């Protein structure tokens, strides 16, 4: 009697055993280390399918490495600080800490039900002082090494919320929650000096061979190296000059104006006694700080009374504008405009009727290019440019810079688009910045022996702004230096601070320091990191910066935190809408003859598959699926459909297909193991021998599939193999033996993906005493795996005339004879004489007549 697969019993059973036996503990003291990590989640309170996909992939890597004998570190933790907890506090009147800790408990339960092979003894939550105290120390060390500093900077300020908004939180110039126009405000903020490592962060991208090219390209562009020059334009009415940054010093003879940013100190100075300029600057400030909003708004300028001399033609006086397209925090906040060869300058020059002078021609000493319709930004040779005439752009750049340097009017330089990282947030639910302000001593870091600076628990959220600021006592303290009255910094760190080093603490988590250097160095770098491509720049770049900064402070010696990176695609689902546009959840849709209806019978419109999101109701709750189908079916489905880096379409039909397979496989296992009563030592049928061959080929291929994240291919191969086994006659004693042995190996191959079913079959059906992942990984016999037939192309005079399937190892003479026997070949050769034959082993026989 066969027993149906009862996932409701089997899955919790093995999860319990694995946990009790501490199966997934990583061993600091053992060799053969392998570190696999998924990006740590924010504890929002509910697990979604994106999480499931991410963690299941990581688990397959971890389990397959463990089964192959590696000492695997696979930890888990929570990115527990952040704004949603504060919003929840305001809405539901719960404390952020309580809300966060409860969410962690719920989500942990959900994650554990997925049967993931985590070493839970290393779990961490970034909101706990035992974690964040160490980053306060890191900050002090960064300060001492000049890798952290304070400066005034422009921020998006929400006047209602009384807080700084990130660019993404400004929607159409308004605060995302308050809906009132955002102001630009100059605020004193703490920065980490990411730019100190700009060149290294850029160059080292070359070493990240196992990162997706799209991610390294994004970092490359984000760092944005520009080679160019600073040029000083002398003011005609004073000894001062205005310094600009340009990448095109070759076009200097085409300059027709100078433009400075509305945030430029000179603009501020001029605005002091100019109401119109004041208004111009205010309008600009209303734009917000995002680069995008600055690029898309119409270019506008304010003409000042100032004039500057063109460096190579001092008699040429150029007007100076304050222009809204010049950013203060790039280069020097000032540019010279060359309308003929720069699009933005062209638009500006048209508007303000400024000269457009082409200085490039197609050929050396040729006619100037036509710029009557648009700017020309391409290659060419200099003209209208005095001593630069006839030179290529590259040669002219060098010569121009040389001349500028000689006259002390400029110098060559390299600048980066990368900015220092502003880490101050006016928030409660974050790590307090360990700084004290004293009227006598100024800015005083909290001494290391007074750390941690912990968050007060008794805070209220009834007023806008930062609760730490409103707290009656917390910010009042004494100055560590003069012991006088002083104030604490009430800003907290950007939460990317926590996620920049958490992977170090998983390796070792002493109480007195962030991590134990030698243990952490023995695990790092992370061998395989897995997460969303949305972190291509911020998180992944900040982490790379942190390794360099921590190395500079003597914490460890390491540049790159993540050796290999895999960015998984999104989980998508069709959308459903009623005639009046209401979204409908997939669970409330009934299908009849391919058409969708609501449970009330209303016809629905089926929309394309899109990323699962609550706003479109196209989400499927993992808990419902686990409840209905069990973990292994969900795992199998989420791995089987598409390559991991692509988007994945969730469908009930696909899931049911996997459900049927799980049951079919179990039935086969059950039957084979029940019937099997030892091998008779006889000869298996040809069919069974073919199964053996396929088995060895599958062993070889699946190992590679795991290495290359081709889980979908691995599943397809295993399914083919099990189909072939199912096809054998179990009444044939020797074939039954083949089925028995092959299925056992198949279990090992599929165990990383379907761990519960595999474990149950291994121990309950095959009566093995150890865990399946502790058994030696199956080895393929290359001789058995090798195909003994090969297929050759047969050509006459290079033209394809057919193929030959032949045994391996035939001689050239044999092959030729076989080829000449082919009717198509005989037709092509006819009565011509054979002049030459070319045989490329295992590939081609070519007959030349």
Cβ neighbours of 297 (radius 10 Å): 13
Residue nearer to ligand ANZ on the CB measure, 393 or 443: 393
DSSP letter (8 states) at residue 804: E
738 belongs to the binding site for ligand ANZ (CB under 6 A): no
3-state secondary structure of 816: helix
How many Cβ atoms from other residues are within 10 Å of residue 302's Cβ? 22
Q: Which stretch binds Zn ion (CB under 5 A): 238-246, 475-483, 556-564, 771-779?
A: 475-483
**Residue 58 interacts with, from ligand ANZ, Zn ion, none (CB under 5-8 Å by kind):** none
Quote the least distance from Cβ 480 to Zn ion, whole Å.
8
* Site pattern 189..228 for ligand ANZ (x: CB under 6 A): -------------------------------------x--
Q: How far is the CB of 341 from ligand ANZ (least distance, A)?
A: 3
Cβ contacts of 571 within 8 Å, gap of 6 or more: 48, 49, 50, 52, 53, 611, 612, 638, 647, 648, 650
Question: How many C-beta neighbours within 10 Å does residue 630 have?
Answer: 23
Span interacting with ligand ANZ, options 325-333, 476-484, 737-745, 821-829, rule CB under 6 A: 325-333
| Binding string, residues 221-250; x marks residues near ligand ANZ by CB under 6 A | -----x------------------xxxx--
Helix (H), strand (E) at residue 540: helix 538-552
Three-state DSSP class for 428? coil
Considering only 166, 202, 294, 441, the residue that binds Zn ion (CB under 5 A) is 441
Please pick, from the candidates 49, 438, 718, 738, the single residue that binds Zn ion as defined by CB under 5 A: 438
Is residue 371 a contact residue for ligand ANZ (CB under 6 A)?
Answer: no
- Structure tokens given for 481: 């230096």
From the CB of 563, what's the least distance to ligand ANZ, in Å?
32
Phi, psi of 565 (to 5 degrees): -130, 140
Cβ proximity to Zn ion, 84 vs 480, nearer residue: 480
Q: Is 336 in the site for ligand ANZ (CB under 6 A)?
A: yes
Q: What, of ligand ANZ, Zn ion, none, does residue 245 touch, CB below 5 to 8 Å by kind?
A: ligand ANZ
| Minimum separation from the CB atom of position 449 to Zn ion (A) | 17
> CA angle 468-472-477, nearest 5°?
80
441 binds, among ligand ANZ, Zn ion, none (CB under 5 to 8 A by kind): Zn ion
Which of helix, strand or coil describes residue 271?
Answer: helix
Q: Among 41, 311, 333, 430, which residue interacts with ligand ANZ (rule: CB under 6 A)? A: 333
Measured CA to CA in angstroms, residue 589 lies from 617, 629, 824 at distances of: 11, 19, 58
Residue 249: CB minimum distance to ligand ANZ, A: 8
User: Nearest Cα to 19, choosing from 109, 104, 101?
Assistant: 109
- Lookup result for tokens 């100037």: 368
Of 84-92, 104-112, 312-320, 321-329: span binding ligand ANZ (CB under 6 A): 321-329
What is each CA distance from 269 to 237, 266, 273, 274, 280, in whole angstroms? Answer: 16, 5, 8, 9, 14
Q: Which does 248 bind (CB under 5 to 8 A by kind): Zn ion, ligand ANZ, none?
A: ligand ANZ
257: which strand partners? 337
Tokens 């360990």 correspond to what residue? 434
- Interaction partner, residue 493 (ligand ANZ, Zn ion, none; CB < 5-8 Å by kind): none
Q: Which segment (42-50, 87-95, 322-330, 609-617) binds ligand ANZ by CB under 6 A?
A: 322-330
Min dist. Cβ of residue 167 to ligand ANZ (A): 17
Indicate the Cα dihedral angle 377, 383, 386, 387, nearest 10°.
Answer: 80
CA dihedral 335, 336, 342, 343 (to 10 degrees): 60
Choice between 242 and 326, CB closer to ligand ANZ: 326
Q: Which is nearer to ligand ANZ, 339 or 778 (CB)?
A: 339
Q: How far apart are CA 305 and CA 297, in angstroms?
A: 25
Q: Which is nearer to ligand ANZ, 309 or 441 (CB)?
A: 309
- Nearest-approach distance from CB 541 to ligand ANZ, in angstroms: 18
Q: For ligand ANZ, how many residues bind (rule: CB under 6 A)?
A: 17
Q: What is the DSSP letter of 735?
A: H
Query: Judged by CB under 5 A, how many residues of this single chain contact Zn ion?
Result: 6
Binding ligand ANZ by CB under 6 A: which of 120, 154, 176, 330?
A: 330
State which of residues 214, 440, 485, 813 lies at the interface with Zn ion (CB under 5 A). 440
| Interatomic CA distance for residues 735 and 679, integer angstroms | 9
Shortest spacing between CB 436 and Zn ion, in angstroms: 8
The residue (of 113 and 226) whose beta carbon lies closer to ligand ANZ is 226
Q: Determine the length of the chain.
A: 849
Q: Which is nearer to ligand ANZ, 330 or 766 (CB)?
A: 330
Written as six digits, the tokens of 265 are 């100190």
Minimum distance, C-beta of residue 151 to ligand ANZ, in the bound complex (Å): 17
247 interacts with, out of Zn ion, ligand ANZ, none, CB within 5 to 8 A per kind: ligand ANZ
How far is residue 362's CA from residue 352's CA, in Å, rounded to a whole number?
28
Token pair in block for residue 662: 């799980």
330 binds, among Zn ion, ligand ANZ, none (CB under 5 to 8 A by kind): ligand ANZ
Q: Which residues contact 802 (CB under 8 A, 6 or more apart)?
A: 794, 822, 824, 825
Out of 89, 125, 170, 326, point to the residue binding ligand ANZ (CB under 6 A): 326
Return d(Cα 244, Cα 258) in angstroms, integer.
9
Q: Which residues contact residue 395 at a Cβ distance below 8 angstroms, ignoring those fewer than 6 apart?
A: none
531 CB-contact burial (10 Å; exposed 0-12 / middle 13-18 / buried 19+):
buried
> Chain-centre distance of CA 84, in angstroms?
22
> Which x/- pattern over 476-515 shows residues binding Zn ion (rule: CB under 5 A)?
---x-xx---------------------------------
**In contact, 54 and 531? CB cutoff 8 Å:** yes
As beta bridge partners, residue 229 has 246, 412
Compare residues 336 and 348 and give the one whose CB is closer to ligand ANZ: 336
Using CB under 6 A, pick the residue from 251, 361, 385, 543 that binds ligand ANZ: 251
> Strand (E) positions, 75-159?
77-78, 124-125, 148-158
Residue with smaller CB distance to ligand ANZ, 264 or 427:
264
Q: State how far the Cα of 321 lies from the Cα of 336, in Å rounded to an integer.
A: 10
Which of 41, 50, 82, 331 is the binder for ligand ANZ (CB under 6 A)?
Answer: 331
Q: In this chain, which of 309, 327, 362, 790 binds ligand ANZ, going by CB under 6 A?
A: 327
A 10 A CB-CB count for 625 gives 20
Residue 545 CB, nearest approach to ligand ANZ (Å): 21
Q: Which residues of this protein are in contact with Zn ion, per CB under 5 A?
A: 438, 440-441, 479, 481-482
Q: Which residues of this protein are in contact with ligand ANZ, per CB under 6 A?
A: 226, 245-248, 251, 325-327, 330-331, 333, 335-336, 338, 341-342
């Amino acid at each position: 009697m066969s027993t149906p697969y009862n996932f409701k019993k089997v899955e919790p059973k093995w999860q319990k055993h694995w946990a009790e036996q501490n199966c997934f503990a990583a061993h600091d003291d053992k060799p053969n280390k392998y570190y696999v990590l998924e990006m740590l989640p924010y504890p929002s309170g509910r697990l979604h399918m994106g999480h499931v996909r991410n963690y299941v992939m990581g688990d397959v890597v971890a389990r397959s490495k463990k089964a192959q004998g590696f000492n695997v570190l696979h930890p888990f933790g929570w990115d527990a600080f952040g704004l949603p907890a504060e919003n929840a506090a305001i809405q539901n009147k719960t404390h952020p800490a309580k809300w966060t800790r409860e969410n962690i408990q719920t989500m942990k339960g959900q994650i554990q039900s997925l049967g993931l092979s985590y070493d839970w003894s290393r779990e961490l939550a970034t909101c706990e002082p035992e974690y964040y105290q160490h980053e306060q120390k890191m900050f002090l060390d960064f300060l001492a090494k000049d890798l952290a500093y304070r400066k005034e900077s422009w921020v998006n300020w929400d006047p209602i919320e009384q807080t700084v908004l990130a660019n993404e939180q400004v929607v159409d110039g308004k605060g995302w929650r308050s809906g009132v126009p955002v102001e630009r405000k100059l605020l004193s903020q703490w920065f980490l000096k990411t730019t100190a490592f700009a060149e290294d962060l850029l160059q080292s991208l070359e070493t990240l061979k196992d990162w997706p090219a799209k991610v390294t390209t994004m970092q490359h562009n984000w760092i944005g190296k520009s080679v160019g020059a600073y040029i000083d334009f002398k003011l005609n009415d004073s000894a001062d000059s205005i310094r600009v940054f340009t990448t095109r010093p070759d076009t200097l003879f085409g300059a027709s104006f100078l433009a400075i940013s509305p945030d430029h100190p000179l603009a501020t100075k001029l605005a002091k006694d100019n109401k119109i300029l004041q208004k111009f600057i205010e309008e600009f400030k209303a734009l917000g700080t995002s680069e995008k909003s600055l690029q898309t708004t119409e270019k506008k300028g304010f003409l000042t009374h100032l004039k500057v001399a063109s460096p190579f033609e001092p008699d040429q006086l150029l007007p100076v504008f304050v222009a809204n397209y010049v950013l203060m925090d790039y280069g020097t906040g000032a540019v010279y405009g060359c309308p003929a060869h720069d699009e933005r300058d062209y638009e500006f020059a048209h508007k303000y009727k400024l000269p457009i002078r082409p200085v490039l021609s197609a050929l050396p000493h040729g006619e100037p290019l036509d710029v009557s319709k648009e700017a020309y930004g391409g290659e060419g040779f200099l003209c209208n440019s005095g001593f630069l005439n006839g030179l290529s752009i590259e040669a002219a750049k060098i010569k121009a810079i040389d001349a500028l340097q000689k006259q002390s009017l400029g110098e060559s330089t390299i600048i980066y688009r990368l900015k220092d990282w502003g880490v101050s947030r006016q928030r409660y639910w974050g790590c307090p910045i360990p700084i004290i302000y004293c009227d006598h001593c100024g800015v005083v870091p909290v001494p290391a022996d007074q750390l941690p600076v912990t968050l007060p628990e008794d805070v209220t959220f009834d007023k806008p702004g930062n609760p730490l600021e409103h707290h009656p006592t917390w910010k009042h303290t004494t100055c560590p230096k003069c012991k006088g009255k002083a104030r604490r910094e009430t800003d907290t760190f950007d939460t990317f601070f926590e996620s920049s080093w958490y992977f170090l603490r998983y390796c070792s988590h002493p109480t007195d320091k962030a991590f134990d250097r030698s243990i952490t160095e023995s695990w790092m770098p992370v061998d395989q990191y897995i997460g969303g491509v949305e972190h291509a720049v911020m998180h992944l770049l900040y982490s790379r910066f942190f390794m360099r900064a921590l190395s500079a402070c003597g914490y460890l010696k390491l540049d790159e935190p993540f050796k290999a990176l895999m960015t998984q695609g999104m989980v998508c689902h069709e959308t459903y809408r009623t005639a009046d546009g209401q979204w409908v959840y997939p669970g409330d849709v009934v299908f009849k003859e391919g058409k969708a209806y609501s449970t009330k019978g209303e016809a629905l419109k089926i929309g394309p598959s899109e990323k699962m999101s609550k706003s479109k109701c196209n989400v499927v709750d993992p808990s419902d699926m686990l409840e209905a189908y069990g973990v292994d079916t969900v795992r199998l489905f989420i791995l089987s459909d598409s390559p991991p880096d692509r988007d994945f379409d969730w469908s009930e039909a696909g899931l049911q297909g996997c459900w049927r397979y799980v049951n079919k496989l179990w039935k086969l296992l059950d039957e084979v193991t029940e019937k099997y009563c030892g091998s008779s030592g006889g000869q298996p049928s040809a069919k069974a021998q073919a199964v053996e061959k396929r088995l060895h080929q599958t062993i070889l291929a699946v190992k590679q599939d795991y290495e290359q994240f081709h889980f979908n291919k691995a599943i397809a191969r295993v399914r083919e193999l099990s189909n072939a086994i199912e096809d054998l006659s179990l009444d044939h004693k020797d074939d039954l033996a083949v089925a028995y042995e092959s299925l056992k190996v198949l279990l090992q191959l599929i165990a990383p993906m379907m761990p519960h079913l595999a474990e149950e079959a291994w121990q309950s059906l095959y009566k093995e005493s150890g865990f399946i992942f502790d058994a030696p990984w199956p080895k393929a016999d290359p001789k058995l795996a090798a195909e003994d037939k090969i297929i050759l192309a047969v050509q006459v005079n290079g033209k394809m005339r057919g193929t030959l399937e032949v045994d391996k190892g035939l001689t050239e003479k044999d092959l030729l004879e076989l080829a000449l026997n082919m009717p198509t070949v005989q037709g092509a050769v006819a009565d011509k004489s054979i002049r030459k034959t070319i045989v490329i082993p295992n590939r081609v026989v070519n007959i030349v007549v």
